[in-house]
Structure 1
Amino acid sequence: MTIPASDLSLLSELLDAALELDPAELEPWLSALPPARRHLAPRLRDMLAEARSTRGGAFLRHSPQLEAADEAVAHPGDRVGPYRLLREIGRGGMGSVWLAERADGSFQRQVAIKLPRLSWGAGLAERMAREREIGARLEHPAIARLYDAGVDERGRPFLALEYIDGQPVDTWCEAHDLPVRARLRLFAQIARAVSYAHGRLVVHRDLKPSNVLVSTDGQAHLLDFGIAKLLQEATGNAPGLTQEQGRVLTPQYASPEQIAGDAVTVQSDVYSLGVLLYELLTGQLPHAPRRPTLGAVEDAILEGDARPASSRTSDKAVARALRGEVDAILDKAMQRDPARRYPTVDALTQDIERHLNGETVLARPAGPIYRWRKAARRHWVVLTAASAVTAAVLSGSGVALVQAQRANAEAERARLVNEFVVEMFNTHAGSEGSLAQIPAQALLERGARQIDSKFAGQPLLQAQLYGVVSQMYFNLSAFEMAVDFGTRQVEALSSAGERGRPLAVATLSLGESLIDLWRWGDAEVRLRRAIALAADDPELLVRAHAQLAFVLAAGQGRVDAGGKELDAAEALMAHHAVPALARANALFVRGLWLSDGKGQIDKSIPLFDEAIRLALEAEGPTSRTAMHARTTLGAQLTFAYRSEQAKPYVDAALAAMRSVGGPDDARAAVEESRFASWMYTFDGARRFADVVATVARDRAALQSRSWTVPPHVLAEMDLHLGLAYMRWGDYVRGRVLMTRAFPICMEHAERGLARNMCLGHAVVAATWAGASAEADEISNRILSENRALYTGNDLAWAYEQRAIALMHERRYDEAQAVLDAFDALPGVTPPRDDGAATQDHDRDEARLVVALERGRFDDVLNLTERRHLKADQRYDDEAFVARASALCGRSRFDEGLALFAQSLPRLARDRSDANPRVAYWRARMGLCALAAGHARLARVASAMASAAIAGQTAISAHLRAPVAQLKARIAGEKPASP
């Protein structure tokens, strides 16, 4: 059967999703497909049945349809999806690449169509899905964009990418006879694009000249992220596609760890970039194997050292340009041990730019003569014009040499660090007021500039100073700058040859700063590195294992993996005398793991309390660890609708922050706004007017500071305030706030809980406001992302969001199918009757309204008989009015109206008179009253409900329906069927 071109991309998407499901999930999932996709269900069943009949998805390899679709038989003029092939422009290990154009004339842009080799077999669909996912993340002028992906009518998977009319970078350099400095500048373009990808958790893994095209304007374009891996997968040594399909790399450009099959990190790309640059500068690869075999190439990379680039060229001018600094840069980039390379591509790029700017290159030992020569080159006009200046510089150089020698002693470095800090604060010695009034951002920026200029050539001292500044930025909640200076500290220690505790501490601190930016993948890399560096230090190991557990469980949703890291920390504490603060941190993370990861909040509270006690004992009443533990437990209790129990923890944390003043006072403003919104939204423990006033006051306080507020901090405040407006009933204002904040939130959120927070706010705004297309897209996205991370009951929230989105479109049967599909998932336990698991509450809230709208009144009555629903006052919002409506549906009008009279005032408490959610239930009460013969009560309810939504411009069809039905029945008109 021929599949229309319009369905191919959708079929590919659905097939990718279906292949991730367990067999028991397939039929419920297929049954839950929306009407616009149901016509594809038979084709999907056939493909999935074929998949089950072969091993490991080998149907992609053995399907007769796909065998006939091998890219080898592609010809000019063939249709591939909506594209027409024009001519083949490339062929390699992954398949062929064709220049193509849209065959349907929708736009004239030419694209490059990639047709992978189908002989790859089992992992083909997964690889295509990965490339599609990665391509969507990468939007950079030096990275070829991904436009489309799918499967054509002949079963060929394809990717449509930006077509770059250019030459491979090595060919382009030779054709234009570029000098060394121009080649270095061009390489810096490439490196910055790779660094951008690393910042989005993507490692390229196959950097080589043919994957870099240079267009006629001299712009480099990086191609082919088709074998890239998400950073968290690469560093986690996870099995999967690479094991199934073998290594996919170009050995001559691969790093030693890729050849050896070890974990791939950003430093693997650093190595490959070094090889690429070496070839661009010399025309030769760095390793010369003894035999022209693959094994010999791998042996040379694993065991041999590359000769200096300057010795591999016969051009004396080129050799002279490479000798010294460029040789040192290449040597550092291509170290066999990843720990000895540049830690990031940014560090490599910065060293190249230092060389081009005549500044000190970190790859070279910074001796006094070398520093003097660099200074002389930069300032030769001044030096030749005034001998007095020369003498002064020479004198200063001598002083610096003496300081560098003396600074080898830890005590001397400590003294210089103290003097540096005192000098920064002395700048403001004459000012009035407290520390809270110091312009901290300006102070730190001035001090940071001094580190580079005043202490050049003293990497150990610079490292300590970078650490001081990083910690100050961290305390200001300026986490981007904390990461920047933390990275500099690690680089300075590495360049000084430090491999002991100082480097482990700095790496661990950098990982903790990355956590606060939600950069979970980068944090995981740094924390695992810290564990390797701190192999014989129990205190650091406990701290690093606990922080890694937090990243894995809370940040990435890998709860079991996080538990193993906590087990490792606890085993160390059982056999070693670990300081109280390290124990406190491990207990705190274990408490969070229990409450958030396992839903056992009552078991977690004693662990949090003990962590707080130990932290206060170790650090005093202003302990930062205690502050963090208190706000985290406060959040867990608030999310469990126990705001009154959370309040003492939150208030104690805020009081401690404000007693410190300065940056902590600002942090208190952020936390206070967050909790004000949460406590109002989750269980009405705060008044709406108080929330608005609190957030406005705290936002003004933040913006009045002398330092720049990170955008994601204000974005989070907008999200929480927007959610409060949604509960209040102003959907327009709430959606404006959340729409404004959503892109910033997503930019800083990688996966797991961080993305769920962003997506969760967005789907609420779209769903309640009736933006059905947007709600569909986001709720499906939530479901897809969460199914990739979680199992069992942990998926309840994602399924609920999808069901609620369908419900608000009045697609009630489909919403019920989604809820039923969740019940059928492996590992899902029945709802508990003791009120202990809040996910059961949320699941029931969706079920109540869906069952009610489907006329399943007995289901509603059964659900609301559960003790935890009857006892939990939060369920005044839904359970009791739903029960009242179900009683009316069973003609028990007096009981229903009595329950409405009791519950509706509580539902409307501290909500706007124009709240559409209240109007919905008030209209249902009116329908009940009308059916019971109480026409006057029905007219009053209709007037109130109609007035509430009269001026609303953004309400879902679900919320409008009963208001319209009531009005029509009162007027004697026949209402539209639900």
Structure 2
Amino acid sequence: MLVNGRGRAWNLSMTQTDAHGVHALLEQLLALPPTQRQAALTRACEGQPELRERLQRLLALAEGGDGFLDRSPFDHSASPTADAEAPGRVVGPYRLLRWLGAGGMAQVWLAERIAGGFRQQVAIKLIAQVPDPVQGRLSAERDILASLVHPGIARLYDGGVTDEGLAWMAMEYVQGQDLASWCQSRGSGVAERLGLFLQVCDAVAYAHTRLVVHRDIKPANILVTDDGQARLLDFGLARLLDDAPGGGAAAASTRTLQLSPSYAAPEQLDGGLVGTATDVYALGVTLYELLAGRLPWALEGSALATAVRRLAAAEPPPPSRVVAADGPVPARALRGDLDAIVARAMRPAPEQRYPDARALAEDIRRHLEHRPVLARAGARSYQLRRYVRRHWRGLALVGVAFLALGIGLVTLAWQERRAQREAQRAAAMQGFMVDLFRTNSSRQADPVRARQTTARELLDIGAARIQTELDQAPENKLALLRLFANLYDEFALSGEQLPIRQQAVALSRQLHGSDSLELANDLIAQARITIDDHAQAEALLAEARAILDRRGDRHSILRGRLLVASATNNYTRDLNRTLADASQAVTILSAYPPSSELARALQLQGVATAYSGKTAEAVAPLRRSVQVSIQADGDPNPSLAGYYIQLGETESYAYEHAAAAADLRRGIQRAQASTAENDFALVRARATLAVALVNADRAREGLAEAERVRAAAPKASDNPEAQFLLIQALTTSSRAKVRAGDPASALVDAQQAVHRARTADPGGSVLTTALQRQAEALVELGRANDARQVLDECDRLMQALGSAGPNDFNMLLRVRALLAQGQVEQAQAGYARLKPIEGDGPKAQTRRLQRALAEAELALAGGHAADAARRAQAAVEAARASALAPYLRSTIADALLIEGRAALALGDADGAARLLEASLALRRELDLPQSPRIVQTQQALAQARRAPQAAGIKAGRTAGRR
């Protein structure tokens, strides 16, 4: 019996040594005056020497002016200081630049590498003087920690010990704000806070897979960069799970490392086993603070005393009860799921928490996706057991214990029934699938046929059975309908998937009601495969949108999916709406972890931006679509090839040619790694790469790629997609051949493309593109009259499609054709109809150069050689001075040819020869040997070289006549 200063008695006899009992006993000892504690300790622990030793150690630490949580375990006498002399000091291969901050056991400096032949800025942590045994352990941990490579973990690059005995670690220098400050400064909502927290969980989960625990997770050790990327710092305090399994000196040394009392798990405070659940506890406290805007408890007195007091007290109230009215998130957003998740993460017993960070993150994702969270399963019974354990005396006196037990039994029974239903559903689905395979196994009458049954055939068999079976178990039937619809989606079989989706919508409406999120989800899923019927898809999406609107759902993942489906449905009909829906979807889904839906939204946003004429602005969202797709679904994944191809094509038209070629090749690699069902994607990727290489003035490389496209393209087929792909292959090959200098072969491909396009796309853009390729080849071959007829048809089609004014490409071809026929005035009149070029971007620069060459040609044909020479020379100078100069060599060669011909017309044969030789040298680098442009330049050069001889002969004849 122990009596405190106020005469209150406590029974301190201990027959068990569980952590809760130790904490309760220590709390009671700390409540006594210091002079009475030793006597009380002796009486309470009589016959229990181990318990006495444990409590004596904790009591001594708690009574100190500062506990082990407040001081470094190492000698601070040699601790580095942030004085004026420290900058410039060399530590290992690094020079200190400026002081960044300090912790209890270290100083942190910004430093730069001065050895190794390269420059690198790092954060150097100088740890106070450490004893030799600990130095060896730090070195071993440093090597393993340096192997942690994750985008959410600041890298550890190097480390060692200075001559003075100071341990140092060189880490990645991360610029940003700590997690709490970042969210506060931006007024982040609950979705954005959870998204950042999930990034942290993913980083911790990665470390756990490498058998490393952090042991000191808190907002101060999490920096968020300006672009919203969370980075976890200070893995220098981590301990390997299998380090010093037998205890001893090494284990003791790890127990003395600094901790943060506000975030430390109970087992860290009472010397228990540290594991992945320890980090889960700290993550729970961090999440509590992030959501409630405050810690779960107030800190008073020394660090250890405060920590022990709060461990002995009741569990903290849920975040929803303590968040202020003007707090970071509204209390209503925290009630239920988030309160339960935080509570489970912070349970005192490690085995009752989430087992690791991955499990914690998965429960948060369940909450974000409106799925049941695991934390709420059994949470009520858990809380009831804890309550009864703390207050059983009072409950026994008033008889409340019986009521509580009754409530607990009802709750447990409800949980059990729910678990049984889930188990029955899983068993039913498993039984259905097993029976599906069994009835098509070698047991049936034709075992050979059974073994030859394909996965697609099994899918059809199973889908047919679902239609007629399981009516007595509608929940099981709905789950199987969704499963088989998703499987059909994997096979890209929209037609077969549609009746299953329709039945799922009807059953979902029956089971969950016409105002349920489940119905909205099924409506969106059906709409996504109904895009061929625009009106039907719009009706489905309108019903889903109405459900979300009535429920006040404006920013959920489901809302984001609806917007992506809407953008897809309007992709070929309403560009402005596609861009608006996709942009809104990007805003919503960016607040959640990376997903395939966000990647698709970014792609739609980028494509719609590009088709709106803002090609350069489209590159950024398309690049992000690739990054998000990799983050969400890994590399490779079924969508990644398409994202790379779209990005590369857009980069090509934005004149980022090097990036375009690289990204298109990445797309080709991913397409090659896919199944044969993605052969069309591979052909499209190669066709796009061929065009990009031609745009980059690498026509011969583009031709080689185009020939691969031509060989791989589908042959004659009734499949519309195959027909369009074959036409694309033909037009791509034709374009590459013209630019590489083989117009005769290009004309054959273009004529085939036109023939097929007249059937596949009469009056459409596919036919106009094929006609442009045909006209281009005819102009190169000198068949000007035929070229003009083709251009006339092409212009009529483009006008019918809504083209405003003459097309630059067509008009410049027409000018060349008219000049070839000697119709200079008609050529000048046609050219004068072109609208002025606006803007100063790469596309505008290139178009101005093309027009400058046309103006020089017109001047030369009109007998104005001096004007032609001046214009051509200006074009050469502008092209060479441009940042696009590496991609303008053909333009420079053409300008030099015109300038050389003008010089020849002016009687400057020597100057003409020099210009024509330069043009010929470029042409031989760019074109095939048989190129008409090479022949044309050679003829002009021969004429220039003959000119002096002809002038001499003429002069001699004149002198003779005299």
Using structure 2 for the length normalisation, give the TM-score: 0.43
Q: Which has the larger radius of gyration?
A: 2
Larger relative contact order (CA 8 Å, sep ≥ 6): 1
Using structure 1 for the length normalisation, give the TM-score: 0.42
